[in-house]
Structure 1
Amino acid sequence: MQALGRGLRRANHVGSHFPPRLGASSSPIQWECRRTAYFNPLQWIQEKFQPQFRKPQEAQKPQGEQLKPGQQNVFEAAQENLEHEKKARTVVTPEGLTVAKKKKASEHKYSTANFKISHRKLNKLGRQIAGKPIDHAIMQMQFSEKRASSRIKSMLATAKVHAANYKNMDSSKLVVAEAWVTKGPKQLKRLEPRGRGKYGIRVHPDSRMHVKLKEGKTFEQLQAEMRARRLKRIVSAGLVREDVPLRNPSASWQW
């Protein structure tokens, strides 16, 4: 017992910074006391909850033993779905770079700036291009004699390029779905001299045109539909049998 007391006093004097030393005179009771005194709970928690990494041979699975979608657990299925979505959102360029795929839009809105023209005059050009394919609308503005036709033509060409590059829309199917005109925010007003020392107010209007482009049918599809519709209207006696019963027949021949 005296040796045990000396051992405990020596352990308390040394502190917990030094590991226990086993000698020839160390007893089991003394070793158990020292082990309990040097127990570190934080180190035990770190060793207990340390992540276990799989071995390389376990991580690699042959292609023949891959699990089916119904046999996977929730985490493997979610990871596989994320990988498929990531591949669907990316595209490989001819240079070998992986870039994000542009999201395709359903419509594209574009407008001109305010310029000096009456909204009544500009509305006539809007009615001329509304509902037509973008190429036909540009051609209409190219051969138009109106002063604002050149500005509208440039606006349509720019809207076509923006819809193809920024909205990922097919330029061959673009149609001017809507076209409308609005007045400018400020109307320029000037004095107009009149007779007998009077004057009037001269209003210099400005307006702008808005267009909305959407994907529709191409010119070839429209021509094919028109041809099929016209062929359907052709009625031939050799192809159609007219066996309609007579209505209100007369009693005898009428010469």
Structure 2
Amino acid sequence: MHRATTVLVRVVSSQHRASTSHLLLSGPRRHASFGTNPLEWLRAAVSPGLRQQRSNREIDAAKRTKAEDESQSVFDTVAPREEKAQKDSSSSVGMPRQSDHHKYSTANFKISHRKLNKLGRQISGKPIDSAILQMTFSEKRAGKRIRNMLVVAKSHAALKGIDRKKMIIAEAWVTKGSKSYKRLEIRGRGKMGIRVHPDSRLSVVLKEGKTRGELLEEERARKLKRIVSAGLVREDTPLRNPRSMWTW
């Protein structure tokens, strides 16, 4: 009797599970809002106005591509964005000329204006590439700062339409900074002095001029012009105050 009761309870429990599972399956889905394509629901939830932002031309192009290839999704066949033409930073040929010169300067940094003026006179009048090379191998402490300034000034001048190959440093000058820090300097016999820490800055003006090749050609022509010789054939020039006899 006890064994039959146990079998009956098991049958009832199995029927209850079947009815419960039937109710869960027959009931409404929790994610019925997904529809047939969950990707559409996700894109609508993230950006609801995405479809309204697209133009009719892009939607028509996507539909035509969808009709040709059924394996791809509509979102995968949307027309790509128009890429802007990238400007070549290495050359300024073809760029509109905005200005015939470009002025640039360093920030105020701790250095004497007398020391900085020597570097300014060293690069003044030279092509920009030659000046950068001079400051690269300069033993002066401020050479690295000036080299970085010249590299930035060169790129900025190229954006204005100045040719990189013909760019020269037309002017270079040094000005004192607005502040001069003063510190106490201990002296002998209980005395003290005042040590001044000056600030200075270097300014340059970049323009188009003669390239390094043109400068070398002019220097070669100048040196050749200084060479004077008798030549193989004497010029038809009359002798003035001739002597009565030969001197040799």
Compute the TM-score of the two structures, normalised by the length of structure 2.
0.57
One of 144, 147, 168 as aligned partner of 1:150: 144
Per the TM alignment, residue 182 of structure 1 is displaced from its structure 2 partner at its CA by 0.6
Matches of 1:235 and 1:192 in 2, distance apart?
62
Partner residue, 2:171? 178
Q: Deviations over 1:43-70 (max 9, x none)?
A: xxxxxxxxxxxxxxxxxxxxxxxxxxxx
Matches of 1:103 and 1:119 in 2, distance apart?
34
Per the TM alignment, residue 235 of structure 1 is displaced from its structure 2 partner at its CA by 5.6
One of 127, 131, 136 as aligned partner of 1:137: 131
Unaligned runs of 5+ in 2: 1-81, 86-94
Q: Which has the higher contact order (CA 8 A, sep 6+)?
A: 2
Partner residue, 2:242? 249
Q: Which moved more, 1:236-245 or 1:195-204?
A: 236-245
Partner residue, 2:154? 160
Unaligned runs of 5+ in 1: 1-93
Residues paired across the two proteins, number: 158
Q: Deviations over 1:90-129 (max 9, x none)?
A: xxxx9687xxx74431111000001111111111100110
Q: Deviations over 1:142-178 (max 9, x none)?
A: 111000000000000110000001x111111111111
Matches of 1:152 and 1:96 in 2, distance apart?
35
Q: Which moved more, 1:245-254 or 1:193-202?
A: 245-254
Cα RMSD (Å):
2.5
One of 202, 209, 217 as aligned partner of 1:216: 209
Per the TM alignment, residue 232 of structure 1 is displaced from its structure 2 partner at its CA by 4.7
Matches of 2:228 and 2:83 in 1, distance apart?
58
What is the DSSP-based 3-state SS (H/G/I as helix, E as strand, rest coil) of the residue aligned with 1:155? helix
Compute the TM-score of the two structures, normalised by the length of structure 1.
0.56
Partner residue, 1:22? none
Per the TM alignment, residue 248 of structure 1 is displaced from its structure 2 partner at its CA by 1.1
1:1-255 to 2 correspondences below 5 Å: 102-165=96-159, 167-233=160-226, 241-254=234-247
Q: Deviations over 1:211-231 (max 9, x none)?
A: 011100112222333344445
Cα distance change on mapping 1:247 and 1:116 into 2, 3 Å: same
* AA at the equivalent of 2:135: M
Q: Deviations over 1:190-226 (max 9, x none)?
A: 1112222221111011100000111001122223333
